[in-house]
Amino acid sequence: MADDLISALDLEEKEHIAVVGGGGKTSLMFCLAEQLRLRGSRVVTATTTKIWHREADKSPFIVFSGSDSNWAGDLKYGINNFMHVFVCQRLLPSGKVEGIPAALADQIFLENDVDYLIVEADGAAGHPVKVPADFEPVIPSSATAVVAVMGLEAIGKPLGPDLVFRIEQFIKVTGLGNGDEMTPGVLAGIFNPPDGVFRGSPDTARRIVLLNKLDLVEDTGQATELAELLLGDDRSGISRVLTGSVLKEFFNLYLKRRNNG
Per-residue pLDDT of the chain (261 residues; tens, 9 = 90+): 777 899 999 999 999 999 999 999 999 999 999 999 999 999 999 999 999 999 999 999 999 998 778 899 999 999 999 999 999 999 999 999 999 999 999 999 988 789 999 999 999 999 999 999 989 999 999 999 999 999 999 999 999 999 999 999 999 999 999 999 999 999 999 998 788 999 999 999 999 999 999 999 888 999 999 999 999 888 778 989 999 999 998 999 999 765 544
Strand-pair partners of 51: 97
Cis peptide bond prior to 137, omega within 30° of 0: yes
Q: Do 46 and 85 meet the contact criterion of CB atoms below 8 Å apart?
A: no
Strand-pair partners of 178: none
Burial of residue 183, with CB atoms counted within 10 A of its CB: 0-12 exposed, 13-18 middle, 19 or more buried: middle
* Alpha-carbon dihedral 250, 247, 229, 153, rounded to 10 degrees: 130
* Residue 33 amino acid letter: A
CA distance linking residue 12 with residue 199, whole number of Å: 24
- Write out the DSSP string of 134-148: TT-----TT-SEEEE
Strand-pair partners of 87: 46, 63
Domains contained in the chain, CATH given: 5-41+117-255 (3.40.50)
CA distance linking residue 180 with residue 170, whole number of Å: 12
- Global pTM reads 0.94
